[in-house]
A = this chain, B = another copy of it.
């Protein structure tokens, strides 16, 4: 059957991605399925595969929206300077992750098969996100190479603290809040960096 053309290819993509975002946000990544998204937008599963290359491709298109939302959120939080802004970014990251737990954790519950690399348009969004951190190190660290290393180290470390804390994998018996750990990280790392 069919050739409804109610929506353009681009419209279909956007509708499917929006539906996917809603499903992941409300039901979690484990309960997401392409069929469910198709049902939500009133099309059949065949249409999803007409518009996306594969299940993985569909998920990457959903996740990149989360990445973009996170970049906007972090930009708005980074108002200070020097060490203070790094703490704001750490607080911002953990706040975003907590408030958007299902969407945020989908970013890491989904991985491409071993050996397969993320597409450029996805990596570009990671790069933008990371650059928000990097630019604030340029005032503190002189050497350009060192800026990149410092920014990547801090960024990945903050992520690790949030990841293990929020997924309950940091032996939470000690009741250390995320803030205690990110403060410890930023305070000591930055002190070591400038000394």
Contact = CB atoms under 8 A, between A and B. Distances in A.
Given A149-B181, A188-B192, A189-B188, A163 B114 contact: no
30 contacts: A28-B113, A105-B111, A108-B109, A109-B109, A117-B168, A126-B169, A127-B171, A127-B173, A149-B176, A149-B180, A149-B184, A150-B188, A152-B181, A153-B157, A155-B170, A156-B161, A156-B164, A156-B165, A157-B157, A157-B161, A159-B163, A159-B164, A187-B192, A188-B189, A188-B191, A191-B191, A191-B192, A191-B195, A192-B192, A195-B195
A148 to B, nearest CB: 6
Given A105-B111, A192-B191, A156 B160 contact: yes
Contact of A167 (B108, B170, B190): B108
Given A180-B149, A188-B192, A192-B187, A156 B170 contact: yes
Interface of A: 28, 30, 101-102, 105, 107-114, 117-118, 123, 126-127, 130, 148-150, 152-153, 155-161, 163-165, 167-171, 173-174, 176, 180-181, 184-185, 187-193, 195
A171 B122 CA distance: 10
Contacts of A181: 149, 152-153, 156
A100 to B, nearest CB: 12
Nearest to A187: B192
A70 to B, nearest CB: 13
A163 B108 contact: yes
